[in-house]
Chains A and B, each alone.
Chain A
Amino acid sequence: QVTLKESGPVLVKPTETLTLTCTVSGFSLSNARMGVSWIRQPPGKALEWLAHIFSNDEKSYSTSLKSRLTISKDTSKSQVVLTMTNMDPVDTATYYCARVYYYDSSGSQNDAFDIWGQGTMVTVSS
């Protein structure tokens, strides 16, 4: 059974750095047909993609948040870590990690977030 689970602080102060961990099971982070992304959702608002890491360790970031984000993985621990610097109250949201499955082995854009974690709510407040 494939699962992803987010963990991290519930509350952070403005200007602090947020570190979130996604622990996966049921698949390997070295599998070339899969990757992991972080996505967030402010209360009552739409989904916003943040960052993605491929099995070969290549990374991609949201254009608007790129300067504040770092994504990394530890394949041996089955963990993907996201750090976001200089947190602000507008960053209050539920943060999800999700597996990306590449339906084509050719490396095309034919992929989707097929399995999601339950999400973790992060509040930014002093």
Chain B
Amino acid sequence: EIVLTQSPATLSLSPGERATLSCRASQSVSSYLAWYQQKPGQAPRLLIYDASNRATGIPARFSGSGSGTDFTLTISSLEPEDFAVYYCQQRSNWPPLYTFGQGTKLEIK
């Protein structure tokens, strides 16, 4: 079963700064990786699918990159509403088993 490891566990930045979040897979997942944002008391929201495609309605300051085992979510200039927990997720081919990373908490410095 593929394990996703996110780093750092917590990232402290100020509004306007650039955020770089990492997700590493225990084996290659090709480009099949998604990113989600979760705010307290809310359900997760899809940000990125297929490593680099923004979901509908997601601002352009969010971008994803990577393939194989190493992936990055970048937020180019942090807005106050971006401080949240971010998860990466992948699906194995068959049987289709989904896994999430343990999350990165992006907090205001």
By a beta-carbon cutoff of 8 Å, the part of chain A in contact with chain B is 37, 46-49, 52, 60, 62-63, 96, 98, 103, 108-119
Closest residue to A119 on the B side, CB-wise? B43
A69 to chain B, nearest CB (A): 13
Instruction: List which B13-45 residues lie within 8 A (CB) of chain A.
Output: 29-32, 34, 36, 38, 43-45
4 closest A-B pairs (Cβ-Cβ)? Answer: A116-B43, A49-B98, A112-B49, A112-B34
A110 touches B89 (CB 8 A): no
A120 to B50, CA, bound (A): 28
B44 touches A47 (CB 8 A): yes
A112 to B29, CA, bound (A): 14
B98 touches A110 (CB 8 A): no
- Chain B interface SS verdict (over half): loop
B1 touches A114 (CB 8 A): no
- Counted as pairs of residues, one from A and one from B, with CB atoms less than 8 Å apart, the total is 71
B90 to chain A, nearest CB (A): 7
Could you list 16 A-B pairs, sorted by A, with CB under 8 Å? A46-B102, A47-B87, A47-B100, A60-B95, A62-B97, A63-B97, A96-B44, A108-B32, A108-B93, A110-B31, A112-B49, A113-B46, A113-B89, A114-B49, A118-B43, A119-B43
By a beta-carbon cutoff of 8 Å, the part of chain B in contact with chain A is 1, 29-32, 34, 36, 38, 43-46, 49-50, 53, 55-56, 87, 89-93, 95-103
A95 to chain B, nearest CB (A): 11
A109 to B92, CA, bound (A): 7
A46 touches B36 (CB 8 A): no
B102 to chain A, nearest CB (A): 5
A115 to B46, CA, bound (A): 8
B87 touches A46 (CB 8 A): yes
B87 touches A116 (CB 8 A): no
